[in-house]
Amino acid sequence: MLSDGVMTDTEFKFISDLVYERARIVIRPNKRSMLQGRLAKRLRSLQLPDVRAYIKLISAPEGEDELGEMLNAVTTNVTAFFREPHHFKHLAETMIPEALARNAAARRLRIWSAGCSTGQEPYSIAMTLANVLDKQGNVDARILATDLDSTVIAFAEAGCYGADDTAPVPPGLAAKYLKKTADGQNAVTQRLRDLVIFKQLNLMGNWPMRGPFDAVFCRNVVIYFDKPTQAKLFKRIAAIMAPGGWLYIGHSETLFKVSDDFELAGKTIYRKIS
């Protein structure tokens, strides 16, 4: 009989410590039931009898791939198209025009969606960006979209969403950048695909990109990190942003007593201090 994922105190501490070590995600005791439920699915998939056997697997060299699956399992992916609409209004009316003026010679623009989940955020950025750039002529623009969870990256790359998922997309943008598929899904157009590059990335690991980024969306990501980890992350983000670059964070997040590299410029909108 397979286990339902119930774990001892020692097993809970081992798993939560390992998640923190690998991804700096803090799993507090009040999230124990959530962790047990998600690990139960992994146990059933692997046909393992209990958490003890699971720990034995992920502690062995041959369990390295399963470590990635475990991190995927504990990651919460909640997202939506045009979530927090004021960010995209600011992007269109302030950030993009400023970046184009600042980079007039190179005609270059770079945006990073850190913690992109299933793709709704970077595609919302891409729609906003394309709608402005299509009136500007040739601009070298790219959006880097990254997430720890390799499963959601694969979903995002497919770029197909149900009607309910795409309901928040403004009608004018939906008409330009979404197309119906044979099975009734809404697929993003090639114009958006050309703008977005998806990559699996652990924010606590090495970063292959150098920037500079004109804007960074890091929304509803650091709520899972402790304060020292948040401070370290925003220091690293600031280091690869252009002077005066813009940072967008989640509605329940703040940089107060976390980072001195940014100044508050609007509701959950910060600007890098040059």
Where do the domains of the chain lie?
9-74, 85-272
**Amino acid 55: pLDDT:** 94
- Mean pLDDT of the region 180-205: 95
Global pTM value: 0.86
- Mean pLDDT of the region 103-126: 95
Q: Confidence class of residue 25 from pLDDT cuts 50, 70 and 90?
A: confident
Q: Given 22, 38, 107, 142, which residue is catalytic?
A: 38
**Amino acid 16: pLDDT:** 92
DSSP 56: H
Q: How far apart are CA 249 and CA 270, in angstroms?
A: 8
Asked, colleague to colleague, whether 9-74 and 85-272 share their fold, the answer is no
Contact 169, 192 (CB under 8 A): no
**3-class DSSP state of 215:** strand
**3-class DSSP state of 114:** strand
Q: Given 24, 42, 147, 214, which residue is catalytic?
A: 147
What is the end-to-end Cα distance of the chain in Å, rounded?
60
With CA atoms as reference, report the closest residue to 150 among 69, 224, 79. Answer: 69
Domain 9-74 carries which CATH code?
Answer: 1.10.155.10
The CATH architecture one would assign to domain 85-272 is 3-Layer(aba) Sandwich (3.40)
Q: What beta strand segments (E) does the chain contain?
A: 108-114, 140-147, 160-161, 178-180, 186-188, 196-200, 213-218, 241-249, 262-266, 269-272
CA 176 to chain centre: 25
pLDDT in tens, 46-55: 999 999 999 9
**Amino acid 273: pLDDT:** 95
Q: Is the pLDDT of residue 3 over 60?
A: no
- Mean pLDDT of the region 118-135: 95
**Amino acid 78: pLDDT:** 75
38 is catalytic: yes
- Mean pLDDT of the region 248-252: 93
**Amino acid 1: pLDDT:** 40
**Amino acid 232: pLDDT:** 97
**Amino acid 2: pLDDT:** 46
Q: Is the pLDDT of residue 7 over 80?
A: yes
